[in-house]
Amino acid sequence: MSFTMSKKNKRGNRWQADVLAKRLEQTAADGSEDDVLVIGIDFGTTFSGAAWATTADLMSDQINLITSWPGTGREEGKAPTELFYEDGETMWGYEVPHDTDPVRWFKLLLLNDEDIDGELRSSEFLIRGRRMLRDNKKSAEDLVADYLRLLWGHITESIVKARGASVIDAMTFHIVLTVPAIWKDYARNRMRNAAKMAGILDFRAAGPTTLSFAPEPEVAALSTLCEPGRQTEKGEIYVVCDAGGGTVDLISYQIEQNAPIAMREVVEGTGGLCGGIFIDEAFESLCKERLGRKWDRLSKAGVNEVMKGDWECGVKPQFKSGNVGKEYIVSVPAEAFVRSSLDDTTRMPFIKSGRIHFSSENIAGAFSQSFRGIDALVDGQIAQVTQNGLKVTGIILVGGLGGSPYLYEHLKQRYTSSRITILQSGGMRPRTAICRGAVIKGFLDGSSAQGDALPISVTSTISRSNIGINTHERFDRRRHGGSDKYWCSEEGHYRASNQMDWYVKKGEHVPTDTPIRKNYYRILPQSSHEPITLCLYQCEDDVAPPTYQAHMGELCHITFDWDDLDLGYEAISHAATGVPLKKITYEVVVKPSGASSELSIWKSGKQLGSSKLNIRYQ
């Protein structure tokens, strides 16, 4: 990938080079640690990809895509997110034999049923996925870990081939895993557990490997808005539509400045399960409906020949609107026609010589349900922007389905009267935008000292919900209700229980470079070694209530042992008895990211390592 700017933004390139050179000089002068290798992983529902870069790569405007995969001689931007288990061996991606029924769509199974729409919950694809879990006696986390383990092995092997083992062994790794923006914290935590199980965070002599998550549409925007030839103006607003295999995520950004580009999230992002696999499901239903019992005669290899051959690699990615009267021919394996004719012209679509002649209207029908979901999501984003007195400039399409010419034409026609430009990269770029953007995100997040030398950044995001802690405050009759009042003998004054201390409130703009930090304390007996546990709550109300309410959901429980961590304490005395006590002060830091939040505990300006505390999501 190149970070070269358009002519309008040439000054941004010079600025980037100057800043980067100064930072590298400073790094050398300070004798800083070895370079960081940033690896972006786009783990998708149907396809997964990866990209990587060092600081030196960044200086030469290069992000390295992995395009060579086991099991295929073609260059591809991604590999299928599929697994097949046989005789103790696990095959993945393009290695999976065509005559098998591989484990697919297991990424979606990381979600709780209540976070999947009722209609989609009964989708044939999800039913198959759950059956595969039972058949293989594995959890969704197990399957994700198995796939990531194989993908990670291929990533590291590819990087070593490109740069050499000695060079790579000297670098620390920062991994950025992309996730749907609509995913809640528990789903991200399951992904984190799977990454650990996969060995991605295993010990390396160069130093600890760090892992962060990034919303897929955010990194897609980072990647596409600074592409060569892309021109932006201050004040413009772009809706990023990341249309993938399972989820479709949308985030809207406003350009705050050029050279380098800085953008802020304008309205709360949205998303839904209306991606490409549901178009596949609709097309498979078309085939079943037309062939009847003949479809049931097909072997697994025969079904794959239809779905992966003529459909996924032929009709689906090339289908366009406006070709009235054009036929789309799909070959059906001969095994479906045992003891029956290869022709059936009694009804449409006709079957001739064992091939179904679908009309343009037939194929458009397979896209219709998914497109209705996408239309609703895009309309919703545009409406939110308009309600804020602003106007959308363009819609950026990324992801596997985002590369569809039919989706491009559909949205272009739909929003012509609104004068909204539809932007879509050609070739491999829509499919690799997310993993390329993940690398940019890795540098922006401070995994490298050169984060501020990049040509683009996100300055703020919008909180999707209220996040806070149930606290006890010193009683104030002007603010607190009498039912919450109680006497605290340890401190010698009245306090109020059940008071919500909200870190962020729903709809708030949160600066990306300034996590929200709040101090708390706990008073314990001098002899106590009791671990500290606290609970963060999540509330979807538009207005955050001041006191704890029963309908609030528990976001997570955080537990850490202050004694083992040598946090230190302040020696105090019981107000009534004079018995020695200890007051332990700590800081809880929250950084919103999509529908999730990154949480950490700090003491005396230092963050506690993830291995020394337990965050358990609900």
Q: Is the pLDDT of residue 591 over 50?
A: yes
- The CA-atom distances, in angstroms, between 249 and each of 239, 395, 460 are 10, 12, 18
Q: Is the pLDDT of residue 32 over 70?
A: no
* Residue spans of beta strands (DSSP E) within 180-304: 210-215, 237-243, 248-257, 261-265, 270-272
Rounded Cα gap, residues 368 and 281, in angstroms: 12
Radius of gyration from C-alpha coordinates of the chain: 27
Confidence of residue 18 (pLDDT cuts 50, 70, 90): very low
* Residue spans of beta strands (DSSP E) within 9-46: 36-43
Mean pLDDT over each residue of the chain, to the nearest integer: 86
Confidence of residue 610 (pLDDT cuts 50, 70, 90): low
Q: Give 7-221's CATH code, choosing from 1.20.58.60, 3.30.420.40, 3.40.50.300, 3.40.50.360.
A: 3.30.420.40
Q: Is the pLDDT of residue 332 over 90?
A: yes
pLDDT tens column, 350-399: 999 999 999 999 999 999 999 999 999 999 999 999 998 999 999 999 88
Q: How many CB atoms lie within 10 A of CB 527?
A: 7
Residue 144: what pLDDT? 96
Question: What is the pairing mode between strands 466-474 and 421-424?
Answer: unpaired
Token readout for 501 is 């201390």
245 neighbors 45 (Cβ within 8 angstroms): yes
Rounded Cα gap, residues 26 and 415, in angstroms: 49
| DSSP category for residue 336 | G
Token readout for 32 is 């800083």
Mean pLDDT in residue range 609-614: 73
Beta pairing partners, 91 = 84
Rounded Cα gap, residues 181 and 242, in angstroms: 10
Rounded Cα gap, residues 219 and 463, in angstroms: 17
Residue 429: what pLDDT? 58
- The CA-atom distances, in angstroms, between 26 and each of 30, 38, 121, 440, 450 are 6, 20, 54, 21, 11
Rounded Cα gap, residues 163 and 52, in angstroms: 12
231 neighbors 403 (Cβ within 8 angstroms): no
Q: Give 463-617's CATH code, choosing from 2.60.120, 2.40.10, 2.70.50, 2.60.34.
A: 2.60.34
Q: Is the pLDDT of residue 73 over 80?
A: yes
The whole-angstrom distance between residue 202's C-alpha and the CA centroid of its chain comes to 22
Residue 430: what pLDDT? 55
